[in-house]
Every structure is written in C-alpha cells, then in structure tokens.
C-alpha cells in the first residue's frame, strides 16, 4: 500500500534573487517590473535583498506599488553602502551574507532568479543545494 504524498504548503512569499544593476538588456527591467506586479496580483509577498537600486529596486517598487507586502533582508556591511528601499513592510539587517541567505530561505515558499551577477549566482546555487538536500520543499 502506498501512502499519499503530503499536500505542499501554500505559497505565501516569493523570494526574488536579482542584480543590484539593471543588466545589459532593457527587457530585464520590464521583466522585473512585471514580476513584481504579478507577485502582488497573485496575493503574495516579496522577499528580496532590500536594495533600491538595479533590478532589485525595480521588482520591489513594482510589488509594493501594486499592494504586496515587501520584506527586505540586507547584511549590515551592505546596509552601510547601499540605498535601502523605502516603504518596506519589514526590513531585517543581518550580521553577514550567510545569515541573510538563511533568513531569505526561511521567509520564502518559492524562489525566482532574474539576471544578476556573482551574488545572484551564489544565492541561486545555495538555494539549489539546500533543495537538493531536502532542506526546502
């Protein structure tokens, strides 16, 4: 006899990993804006890196302006040099990058990756590894 698979928990918050720059194509900005609006229109919240610049800022403003609760998570060393997005539902400042990634992981039910640089790749590989290890389902 086989047992039924457990019903997955509903998605409440979507974590978006993306760059603090706009990237090389204008379509990236449109994609980030559309994603932010779509998250809000789906009744979901956004978890992201708390910045107001680049694609991070675009997705956050689009989600916030469309009514989504936006949770920003930033390590203290970046909080000192980057411009944090205003109007966030929550802002968390962590001690380091690992704590930031862990908090983003813990606060999110789904993950989306947009264009970015090495930091975005780092976040992507870490979440893929954690999923492979069944730490996130």
Mean pLDDT within 19-48: 97
Query: What per-residue confidence (pLDDT) applies to 5?
Result: 61
Query: What per-residue confidence (pLDDT) applies to 83?
Result: 87
Give the DSSP H or E segment for 39: helix 26-41
Single pTM value for the model: 0.91
How far apart are the C-alpha atoms of 62 and 73, rounded to whole Å?
Answer: 17
Average pLDDT, the chain: 93
Residue ranges covered by each domain of the chain? 13-132
The domain made up of 13-132 has a fold known as: Rossmann fold (3.40.50)
Query: What per-residue confidence (pLDDT) applies to 56?
Result: 97
Orientation angle between helical segments 118-132 and 97-107, nearest 10 degrees: 50
Q: Which residue has the tokens 């704590």?
A: 99
pLDDT tens column, 72-81: 999 999 888 8
Q: What are the φ/ψ torsions at residue 117 (nearest 5 degrees)? A: -115, -145
Q: What are the φ/ψ torsions at residue 14 (nearest 5 degrees)? A: -110, 125
pLDDT confidence band for 71 (50 / 70 / 90):
very high
């Amino acid at each position: 006899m086989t047992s039924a698979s457990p019903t997955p928990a509903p998605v409440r918050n979507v974590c978006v990993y993306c760059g603090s720059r706009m990237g090389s194509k204008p379509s990236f900005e449109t994609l980030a804006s559309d994603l932010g609006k779509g998250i809000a229109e789906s009744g979901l919240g956004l978890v992201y890196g708390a910045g107001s610049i680049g694609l991070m800022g675009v997705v956050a403003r689009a989600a916030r302006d469309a009514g989504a609760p936006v949770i920003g998570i930033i390590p203290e060393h970046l909080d000192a040099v980057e411009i944090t997005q205003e109007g966030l539902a929550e802002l968390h400042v962590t001690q380091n990058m690992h704590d930031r990634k862990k908090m983003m992981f813990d606060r999110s039910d789904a993950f989306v990756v947009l264009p970015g640089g090495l930091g975005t790749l780092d976040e992507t590989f870490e979440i893929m590894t954690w999923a492979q290890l069944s730490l996130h389902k």
